[in-house]
Structure 1
């Protein structure tokens, strides 16, 4: 299969720019497209055969549910029911935007492989002109995980999608670099207390200002099926092993010395404060304590490591305040819980 990249300007409303993508989706194919978080790989959510092509292209585990993307709130009534009032408040406040709501699923409405057999569905309305125009022209719900090889860092550029999925999908809509750079926050409204299953750009603090108490779930145990994407398995990982390390210049210098003594090469992914440490490679997450910049740059930095001959990747931990919770969630997954000890 040949993979075509079509450039679609982020501000464009030229409907003809989307015709090929809409036609492919209607025919049961998959299409990659930009959102404000990362690039997604979409298929019409009511077609089990089309959705199966997402899992095939990504090599994604079948028990990992997909998020359904919509272009208007009116679409949600076709496949959900008994929407809690607090969920409606969040729709009004945060949609379009990087917030996925877990809601009760109306039986026999979506393809079964979208929800991995669960009686709930994750739904969001993306805040990106390309994604919204595509969805509004299509007028159907689209299931779309991140458009990358399963387990690898999510794509924030069309070239990342092409690197991972060339020859496996027919079309990539290139809308430039994504803004936030981290996947959406996922919040469960089926629980007694609204519960964040995956942190993202809409933070716990932002949610609590609007709906009151919000809890945060732990990652799913290996024996259990995940309730939302990103809760299970090692995720977001480059080819070389990632190790978390204390946020200390001295500790990182000692670690680099130890790694070099073993004749190995090391990359450091960190704020510019660490740029003078003499590792073999350095990839910046921006200025110290600028967590929004760090989130935007994280996946690019992880992918950059795959272009090197590095043996070990060190990442000093960041604050878990605000969007830092989402960044550390991704880093803990990328490292699969590994810490570098001197």
Structure 2
């Protein structure tokens, strides 16, 4: 409909311009007729007026087309420069470059807008890539430094048996940490590319949570943590093995940041066509800005820097819940603890099958 109105408007403008030029041509020819009345018969006057209208119309179109052509050249030059900046990897300058626009619905204007959006997105991706590389380098460099240092100490001939055993234990721990980082990176990459096989079926989530709690017993019993469990019979629709990884990560996280003699609660709430699992602790908690970033890769709150881990566990949990068509939320206050809430579908959903 807009196109019809636009076309009709252009036709009306064309007729108006033609009528205006016809009036000017008619006045010009009449002026000549006043000067040389014996040369202009009515027939000659009409012919001259018609040719003058065509001439004025051609001149008007030539002036406008030349102006438009110059403007188009400027726009295409700007687009070309932006594309060159993007091809060289300079997304920041490409995103900040201001391109001339013609009109809002013009195809070139739309192309310029899309190109600017693409440059902005690529710039954000470049920043994320650089941050990711920096984080990976930091996480890998730390255990490598330990490995190098303790391997150097092992060269000392006067080391006691106990010292040698302690250094070897540290090297083994750091090696396992490197292996875990590599394993989690590969897993997260596979999940983001959706290459991880997902075999969904209905299963009892309350039973699964009990098994995971028992599996983690050595961790929480060593810290004398009290578990408060309210798990009514509840079914969800998903991949049982992958969701087990979600609960392992969340419970491990809760145990890690809960102090000696602390408390962790797990409960299930039935919802329409879904089940909500809440895992809460009374540990150290987080600041609001830390809670907002807790699902980012490698992100670790300052308080948790010395608690080990790679900062990938919650990213993996978030991605797994997302692949199941569910949601995961976090609430936390410093000194009061953290609560994770996971909502999963209880029935198949077409878009997730």
TM-score range, shorter chain: under 0.3
RCO higher in structure (CA 8 A, sep ≥6): 1
Larger proportion of strand: 1
Please say which structure displays the higher CA radius of gyration: 2
Larger proportion of helix: 2
